[in-house]
């Protein structure tokens, strides 16, 4: 199917495909060169489009970076939703959720992107607000599951949002590994052990019954 209308101009579908292609190339470039090392000219060359084409879709390098972050988080949230199984025992369900979060968090590209966001959050207009919005959206599937446990009478929370943040941070050891050398990033076995410990701590703190009983 052609991506151009009879007039020769790109169709809406073609324009969306081109936009995604440019964001994919931009994401690779940001990861390889950092925000300041990347340029619209370099991204355009790698994407085999003109600078004008990029500027027709994105106002600036900053707006392109914001778009990359949003797409990245949208993909994460969609994948997380598929990992939440409310039919499993809470300990097993929480481990699967936590292990997924941990695996995503510790991907090398995600660590690079997180460090980049931290470095640029006060320099790029709109980045702080976007991160706040995206983190809230990313927590919602977990928070919804915790509310279901609360409605079932299994847990007690004085603040379910705070409990959600605590659970996520326990599963990734806070920001500890963002500040460490990449060689110290936990492997799959170590991540599983960290998440198992996180689930145990969380359940002992919030579940009404002994974790072994639920």
Residues found in the chain: 214
**How many whole angstroms separate alpha carbon 168 and alpha carbon 98?**
7
Q: Name the pTM for this structure.
A: 0.86
Topology of 1-58 in CATH? Answer: Arc Repressor Mutant, subunit A (1.10.10)
pLDDT tens digits for range 86-104: 899 999 999 999 999 999 9
pLDDT tens digits for range 48-96: 999 999 999 999 999 999 999 999 999 999 999 998 988 999 999 999 9
H runs (alpha helix) in 9-126: 12-37, 40-47, 51-57, 61-83, 90-105, 108-120
* pLDDT-based confidence at residue 7 (cuts at 50, 70, 90): very low
**How many whole angstroms separate alpha carbon 112 and alpha carbon 106?**
10
Q: What's the token pair of residue 150?
A: 């609360």
Give the per-residue pLDDT at 176.
Answer: 86
CATH number of 64-213: 1.10.357.10
Question: Domain extents for the chain?
Answer: 1-58, 64-213
pLDDT tens digits for range 127-172: 999 999 999 999 999 999 999 999 999 999 999 999 999 999 999 9
């Amino acid at each position: 199917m052609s991506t151009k209308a009879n007039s020769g101009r790109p169709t809406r579908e073609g324009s969306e495909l081109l936009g995604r292609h440019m964001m994919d190339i931009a994401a690779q470039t940001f990861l390889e060169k950092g925000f300041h090392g990347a340029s619209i000219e370099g991204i355009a060359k790698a994407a085999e489009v003109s600078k004008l084409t990029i500027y027709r879709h994105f106002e600036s390098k900053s707006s392109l970076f914001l778009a990359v972050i949003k797409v990245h988080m949208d993909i994460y949230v969609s994948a997380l939703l598929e990992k939440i199984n409310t039919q499993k025992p809470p300990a097993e369900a929480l481990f699967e959720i936590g292990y997924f979060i941990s695996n995503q968090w510790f991907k090398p590209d995600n660590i690079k992107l997180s460090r980049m966001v931290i470095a640029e959050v006060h320099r790029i207009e709109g980045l702080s607000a976007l991160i706040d919005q995206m983190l809230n959206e990313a927590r919602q599937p977990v928070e919804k599951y915790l509310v279901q446990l609360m409605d079932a009478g299994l847990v007690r929370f004085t603040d379910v949002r705070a409990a959600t943040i605590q659970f996520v941070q326990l599963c990734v050891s806070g920001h500890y590994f963002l500040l460490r050398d990449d060689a110290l990033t936990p492997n799959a076995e170590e991540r599983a052990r960290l998440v198992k410990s996180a689930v145990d701590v969380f359940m002992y703190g919030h579940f009404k019954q002994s974790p072994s009983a639920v």
